[in-house]
Amino acid sequence: MKGTRNVSDQDKPRVLQIGRLLPWLEEQLAAHFDLVLLAQQPNPQAYVAEHGREFVAAVTSAAVGIDAAMMDSLSALKVISSFGVGLDKVDVQAAARRGIPVGYTPDVLNDCVADTAFTLLLDVARRASEADRFVRRGAWLTDKFPLATRASGKRLGIVGLGRIGRTIAKRASGFDMEIRYHNRRPAEGVDFGYEASLTELARWSDFLVVAAAGGAESQGLISAEVLQALGPQGFLINIARGTVVDEPALIQALRDKAIAGAGLDVYVDEPRVPEALFALDNVVLLPHVASATHETRQAMAALVLDNLLAFFSEGRPKVAAPVA
């Protein structure tokens, strides 16, 4: 994965890897392509300026992304393959203007992300992490742990009824929950109640789960007004993107007990989580691990590779990101 080319690499498509990926995936990419790992270059910016025109493909991740400036530096770029489902750091529109398809990895992570949503929902409602801390500090010897909130049979509002939102709804059926959802428009093929007003969905919900896509259109979607509507008996769960929630408003709502609690896997400035959340017992904090299982990450890695192989053999990625 050096910057210079071997004779054996001459016939392989030259691929630039932006950011580190799973070791198995890096090995497979190096076996199939003339791969350069940008992070290994002493001066990545200078390397791209000198060699950018040599690359026909780029591999990145949802966490790292690729912007229009980087694409402009890769004048021969024909395809991008991204590890993850989030596209807020991948300039899909800039790629589309140049006719560059963007492969990504939806569907294979739906189950694990939905599982994590329910992990957070049950944890914050039943106060599991809080109870764990209670036992570990020896408080059970002298005190009784306070009552928690039942999850089964409650009302679940889903913000964003896409692939992951629908999988969350399947999980909710096992808990006999009533489901309503909010999208920009009603979804086809579902029987759940549609709520055109996000604020009204929050007012109706006992649990509001955020599964909407990130990006400029959804920034701050869960506003102070939405949190106020959710109310002191309501819980917020976010497994989407941190930017979808007005983070200062959420912190204030948790401090003031304006909502009952929150379960968070994502934050605005990851991995920097607001320290104000650390002292609050009514929030459960995960380090963006919704898809972080061996099985799902392997499936995502395989699809990143398949997207590139499909492009170079068939002219298009196996799964390409939509262009609005």
What's the alpha-carbon Rg for the chain, to the nearest Å? 22
DSSP conformation class of 243: G
SS3 74: coil
Helices (H), ranges, the chain: 23-32, 44-51, 68-73, 92-97, 110-126, 128-136, 163-173, 198-204, 224-230, 247-255, 294-314
DSSP conformation class of 257: T
- The answer to whether 270 is a known catalytic residue is yes
Q: Which two tokens stand for residue 239?
A: 């497994």
209 strand-pairing partners: 158, 237
Sheet holding 283-285, edge to edge: 193-194, 178-182, 155-159, 207-210, 235-238, 261-264, 283-285
Which phi and psi angles does 266 have, rounded to 5°? -135, 155
* Given 288, 295, 297, 316, the catalytic residue: 288
With the C-alpha atoms ordered 236, 237, 243, 244, is the resulting torsion angle positive or negative?
negative
Instruction: Give CA–CA dist 28/17, Å, rounded.
Output: 12
- The answer to whether 50 is a known catalytic residue is no
Residue whose C-alpha is closest to residue 150's, from 260, 307, 297, 67:
260
* Given 127, 166, 241, 297, the catalytic residue: 241
- The answer to whether 98 is a known catalytic residue is no
Instruction: Give CA–CA dist 27/31, Å, rounded.
Output: 6
* Given 27, 270, 295, 316, the catalytic residue: 270
Q: Which two tokens stand for residue 131?
A: 């109870």
Residue whose C-alpha is closest to residue 79's, from 255, 313, 281, 324:
313
Active-site positions? 241, 270, 288
